[in-house]
A and B are shown apart, each in its own frame.
Chain A
Amino acid sequence: MDWEVVIGLETHAQLATHSKIFSGAATAFGAAPNVQACAVDLALPGVLPVLNRSAVDCAIRFGLATGAAIASRSIFARKNYFYPDLPKGYQISQFEIPVVSGGTMSIELEGKVKQVRLTRAHLEEDAGKSLHEDFHGLSGIDLNRAGTPLLEIVSEPDLRSATEAVAYARALHRLVTWIGICDGNMQEGSFRCDANVSVRPRGQSELGTRCEIKNLNSFRFLEKAIEYEIRRQIELIEAGGVVVQETRLYDPDRDETRSMRSKEDAQDYRYFPDPDLLPLHIDAAWIGEVQARMPELPDAMQQRFIEQFGLSLYDAGVLTASRSMASYFLELLPYAANDAKLCANWVSGELSAALHREGLEIQDSRVSPRQLGGLLKRIQDGTISGKMGKELFDILWREGGEADALIEARGLQQISDVSSLEGIVESLMAEYPAQVAEYRAGKEKVFGFFVGRAMKASGGRANPEQLNAVLKQRLKAE
């Protein structure tokens, strides 16, 4: 049977606000347990939530970036359930009327662009953390994360493979970090996905029964979990079984998903509008204010790079992989006489390789755009060869400094002037008369021998083009 895979993702993006969504406590990661939990986060008797406008700014930003509708009036609702790291016994979320509805994300697969529809994005608060180790059979509760603002972004079931799901998650990750609403740190849980996966015989219009895989916090786990789940469902159905709607957890150690709870155990969250919070009203002025501070979006910038600089789709994609990558590139350009192709090659080549080697982000690059630009300028004007440029880059990366000063100090300039090259060539010809004779007898392979010797003699600095010309001319001359 030919199966079609249907996937939708629910993504929780932790919003990069300084304080929590309903209290003034800080949201910074990594503080000692419970020091960033104020009376409101602890849900002491009598405390009340107050909405943080910056969290709403983030939601508006996301809505604008995805072409979604931003509700002029949305409602906060209580999702009621008991858990020790949920201090109020309910989570404040949005249910019937979310702040953002609709919108689309573009994803790119093997050079083809696909539109993925978004269902909605709503604001809610995160829960705290339960710690089950180190407490001698008891559980510890850390409420630092309680009340951290989240944007839950729900896609339509438009994704058709694990690869597409990962491409969507990556595109979403790029977008939320690009527009500055999320730091995107997946290890710290700032960006995590739940995947709804089902399969159906190709051609069937109704959806198969889905399973939800919770809390996937890396692209690799997302891909592997979905691949496992697809295999599991197909094998199950082909063996005569039926898929049961349930929530599953992915175990990366064993590379499998396991049932967490079935639909029958699903709780009734008893959503109702939170009477402590007024409806959220967003007017055109507020949206305009956010719009005015909106950066150029990645898809638009990628397109611009293709059109304005003549870059390939791939190169433009690499350069817009993150906003800091794009900023680096744009800062580098004027230092390198706006040679976009040369800049693109170096950023996606040497620079990216060096960053990758050391596990650094581009904003932490050891070579600044100005430094790299200084180097590229000397390649452009022929002072150094491309090969020499790579060596120079390694020096800049390891030791710092300026390209011009290093070229000067270490004598790295290309030898391009004809008389110096002629000097080298003539002394070689004097040293190897037999080889000169061979060449002149028509054995042109010997040419390479002279190139190698001349390069060596020049300490690698001979301008290859000039050297070739001088060699040809001299060797031919009887």
Chain B
Amino acid sequence: MDLANTSLRQLASALHERRISSRELAQAYLGRIERLDGELGAFITVDPEKTLAQADAADARIARGQAGPLTGIPIAHKDIFCTQGWLTTCGSRMLSNFVSPYDAHVIEKFAGAGALILGKTNMDEFAMGSSNETSHFGPVKNPWNLAKVPGGSSGGSAAAVAARLAPAATATDTGGSIRQPAALCGVSGIKPTYGLVSRYGMIAYASSLDQGGVIAPSAEDLGLVLNAMVGFDARDSTSIDRPAEDYTATLGKPLKGLRIGLPREYFSGGVSSDVAQAIDAALEVYDRLGAERVEVSLPHSALSVPVYYVLAPAEASSNLSRYDGVRYGHRAAQYADLNDMYERSRAEGFGPEVKRRILTGTYVLSRGYYDAYYLQAQRVRRLIVNDFREAFEQCDVIMGPSSPTVAFGFGEKTGDPVQMYLSDIFTISVNLAGLPGLSIPAGFGAAGLPVGLQLIGNYFSEGRLLQAAHGYQQATDWHRQVPDMARA
């Protein structure tokens, strides 16, 4: 079976028609991981024994005729999702010894669907990073060019899918952590509306922004996986209870008359020319598909990066307080007293980027600074939300680049955090507003590296976003282009 170009739907048919067993499929992917991941670094943990046991159960379920669309299909999970009996590290030394005693809601949902856990993917430490260079387990490399970063923080999931080490992978997105690595690795990725995917068991970075989602080769694959992943969960107070939706139902519907909003601010510099050209070409495809262009404005979008870097660290500084070495996780071997234990355990357990954000967050919440930073940022956040609300009165989908550049080299931005933070300039405002966003491959830029087109929708418009992405993917074959590694 050609795993480089087989959709989830095709895999499901092959399984249902018994042309391949789940065990064989799992073995094929596990074999690829074994062969290729030493170089790529996309996985933190694989456990073939567990995966194959699940495959056997899935095969039995298929034999009983009780299979669903994902039964027997191996899916990789970002190592931010707590997985019972599996190491769940969040890319950190702090949790490098943490075997979760429980499953995240997302993991339960996939178990219910009969999908297999293929392994746990590498990520920036506690999802803080845009290049996957902050992982305690080493960087992930970009399958298109091993000297380039895969993006982050879901770099492991994006690289694994791009190299076809997994047919699909879960991921999370707090400021662009699904869409930016999807763009840099030439795959598709969706961050749903805040509240659609339960955060229970998804290790928190910034609670008001974190949202689980999927990375896969195509929009159709995203829809199939999203169907299994979305659902109300009473254990997450921000989970939204609404009727189930089939995210593949809109696929194939024509795009004629679709109003595409083009924010002035996304097309006025700050984007490298190769990316700009690819985006222009993509928009021309939409012209041919009968969509209309509408110029819109998101006047506060320039403030999204500073607002994000106040709010996300503020929440993170508190969310990460539980890692104190008392109950689980890393504890320093030697310490003089309680405070020394805290200080050493946290100094040793967290990497520099996590520390930077904890310090920033602690600062902006401190007495005397709270109003000027945290409250002010919340006010601007509301302005950003309003920008989108007004824009969506004029259009159905907003489009622009997912990332201002194609994949950059290792170490290129690590010395300058602000440059690194600007990698997410087009994605962050979507999290601040809680909107759904999607990135799809839209050709190649400099040095043959992939460019991602970002589609932003109104709340709960995932169906329409996937429809728009699928329409484009029916008219182009960028999403079928794979790096050599995928064929290896």
Q: Please indicate whether A and B come from the same complex rather than being unrelated chains.
A: yes
Q: Are A43 and B327 in contact (CB under 8 A)?
A: yes
Expressed in whole angstroms, the Cα–Cα distance for A227 and B392 within the complex equals 66
A275-B238, A275-B315 are known; give 4 further A-B pairs, CB within 8 A: A42-B327, A45-B204, A46-B204, A276-B238
Q: Judge whether A97 is part of the interface by a CB distance below 8 angstroms.
A: no
B contacts, CB < 8 Å to A: 81-82, 88, 90, 95, 98, 100-102, 104, 199-204, 206-208, 234-238, 314-315, 317-318, 320-324, 326-328, 338, 342, 362, 365-367, 370, 374
- B206 closest partner in A (C-beta): A275
Q: Are B237 and A270 in contact (CB under 8 A)?
A: no
Contacting residues, chain A, for B367 (C-beta < 8 A): 268, 270
Contact of A80 among B88, B208, B328, B365 (CB under 8 A): B365
Q: Are A45 and B321 in contact (CB under 8 A)?
A: no
- A37 closest partner in B (C-beta): B327
Contacting residues, chain B, for A276 (C-beta < 8 A): 204, 207, 237-238
Shortest beta-carbon distance from A23 to chain B in Å? 9
Q: Are A275 and B322 in contact (CB under 8 A)?
A: no
Q: Judge whether A50 is part of the interface by a CB distance below 8 angstroms.
A: yes
Q: Judge whether A145 is part of the interface by a CB distance below 8 angstroms.
A: no
If the complex has contacts A45-B322, A48-B199, A84-B326, are A278 and B238 also in contact, measured as CB distance less than 8 A?
A: yes
Shortest beta-carbon distance from A37 to chain B in Å? 10
Expressed in whole angstroms, the Cα–Cα distance for A281 and B236 within the complex equals 17
Q: Are A141 and B82 in contact (CB under 8 A)?
A: no
Q: 5 tightest A-B contacts by CB? A: A89-B321, A270-B365, A275-B208, A275-B207, A46-B201
Expressed in whole angstroms, the Cα–Cα distance for A409 and B206 within the complex equals 79
Q: Mark A267-287, 1 if CB is under 8 A from B, else 0.
A: 010111001111000000000
- A270 closest partner in B (C-beta): B365
Q: Are B88 and A45 in contact (CB under 8 A)?
A: yes
Q: Are A49 and B237 in contact (CB under 8 A)?
A: yes
Q: Are A89 and B199 in contact (CB under 8 A)?
A: no
If the complex has contacts A275-B207, A275-B315, are A45 and B235 also in contact, measured as CB distance less than 8 A?
A: no
- B311 closest partner in A (C-beta): A275
A contacts, CB < 8 Å to B: 39, 42-51, 78, 80, 82, 84, 87-90, 141, 268, 270-272, 275-278
Shortest beta-carbon distance from B443 to chain A in Å? 37
Contacting residues, chain B, for A78 (C-beta < 8 A): 318
Contacting residues, chain A, for B365 (C-beta < 8 A): 80, 270-272
Shortest beta-carbon distance from A135 to chain B in Å? 14
Contacting residues, chain A, for B322 (C-beta < 8 A): 43, 45, 87-89
Shortest beta-carbon distance from B361 to chain A in Å? 9
- A23 closest partner in B (C-beta): B235
Q: Are B237 and A268 in contact (CB under 8 A)?
A: no
Contacting residues, chain B, for A141 (C-beta < 8 A): 326-327
If the complex has contacts A45-B322, A270-B366, are A87 and B327 also in contact, measured as CB distance less than 8 A?
A: yes
Shortest beta-carbon distance from A56 to chain B in Å? 13
Shortest beta-carbon distance from B201 to chain A in Å? 4
Contacting residues, chain A, for B95 (C-beta < 8 A): 45
Expressed in whole angstroms, the Cα–Cα distance for A49 and B200 within the complex equals 9
Expressed in whole angstroms, the Cα–Cα distance for A87 and B329 within the complex equals 13
Contact of B200 among A46, A84, A88, A270 (CB under 8 A): A46
Contact of A50 among B206, B235, B314, B328 (CB under 8 A): B235
Q: Which of B201, B315, B326 has the most CB of A within 10 A?
A: B326
Contact of A45 among B100, B207, B374 (CB under 8 A): B100
Q: Count of A-B contacts with CB under 8 A?
A: 96
Shortest beta-carbon distance from B136 to chain A in Å? 15
Shortest beta-carbon distance from A454 to chain B in Å? 79
Expressed in whole angstroms, the Cα–Cα distance for A270 and B362 within the complex equals 8
Expressed in whole angstroms, the Cα–Cα distance for A50 and B200 within the complex equals 11
If the complex has contacts A51-B237, A82-B342, A270-B362, are A44 and B315 also in contact, measured as CB distance less than 8 A?
A: no
Expressed in whole angstroms, the Cα–Cα distance for A39 and B203 within the complex equals 13
Contacting residues, chain B, for A278 (C-beta < 8 A): 237-238
Shortest beta-carbon distance from B318 to chain A in Å? 5
Contacting residues, chain A, for B324 (C-beta < 8 A): 82, 84, 89
If the complex has contacts A45-B322, A84-B326, A89-B318, are A39 and B101 also in contact, measured as CB distance less than 8 A?
A: yes
Contacting residues, chain A, for B366 (C-beta < 8 A): 268, 270
Expressed in whole angstroms, the Cα–Cα distance for A46 and B98 within the complex equals 12
Q: Are B104 and A46 in contact (CB under 8 A)?
A: yes
Q: Are B199 and A272 in contact (CB under 8 A)?
A: no
Shortest beta-carbon distance from B104 to chain A in Å? 6
Contact of B314 among A44, A84, A87, A272 (CB under 8 A): A272
Contacting residues, chain A, for B102 (C-beta < 8 A): 39, 44
Contacting residues, chain A, for B98 (C-beta < 8 A): 45
Q: Are A45 and B82 in contact (CB under 8 A)?
A: yes
- B362 closest partner in A (C-beta): A270
Q: Are A45 and B203 in contact (CB under 8 A)?
A: yes
If the complex has contacts A50-B237, A272-B314, A275-B207, are A80 and B200 also in contact, measured as CB distance less than 8 A?
A: no
Shortest beta-carbon distance from A124 to chain B in Å? 16
Contacting residues, chain A, for B104 (C-beta < 8 A): 46
Expressed in whole angstroms, the Cα–Cα distance for A380 and B147 within the complex equals 102
Contacting residues, chain B, for A277 (C-beta < 8 A): 237
- B82 closest partner in A (C-beta): A46
Expressed in whole angstroms, the Cα–Cα distance for A329 and B410 within the complex equals 82
Shortest beta-carbon distance from B108 to chain A in Å? 12
Expressed in whole angstroms, the Cα–Cα distance for A48 and B238 within the complex equals 10
Contacting residues, chain A, for B362 (C-beta < 8 A): 270
Contacting residues, chain B, for A87 (C-beta < 8 A): 322, 326-327
If the complex has contacts A46-B203, A270-B366, are A90 and B235 also in contact, measured as CB distance less than 8 A?
A: no
Q: Are A272 and B101 in contact (CB under 8 A)?
A: no
Shortest beta-carbon distance from A160 to chain B in Å? 32
Contacting residues, chain A, for B342 (C-beta < 8 A): 82
Contacting residues, chain B, for A51 (C-beta < 8 A): 237
Shortest beta-carbon distance from B320 to chain A in Å? 8
Q: Are A84 and B318 in contact (CB under 8 A)?
A: no
Shortest beta-carbon distance from B373 to chain A in Å? 11
25 contacts between A and B (CB under 8 A): A42-B327, A43-B327, A44-B82, A44-B100, A44-B101, A45-B203, A45-B204, A46-B201, A47-B201, A48-B200, A48-B204, A50-B235, A78-B318, A80-B318, A82-B324, A84-B326, A87-B322, A89-B322, A90-B318, A270-B317, A270-B367, A272-B318, A276-B207, A276-B237, A277-B237
Expressed in whole angstroms, the Cα–Cα distance for A50 and B236 within the complex equals 7
Shortest beta-carbon distance from B363 to chain A in Å? 10
Q: Which of A43, A51, A275, A276 has the most CB of B within 10 A?
A: A275
Contacting residues, chain A, for B374 (C-beta < 8 A): 272
Q: Which of B95, B327, B338 has the most CB of A within 10 A?
A: B327
Expressed in whole angstroms, the Cα–Cα distance for A79 and B208 within the complex equals 17
Expressed in whole angstroms, the Cα–Cα distance for A228 and B205 within the complex equals 48
- A78 closest partner in B (C-beta): B318
Expressed in whole angstroms, the Cα–Cα distance for A45 and B328 within the complex equals 10
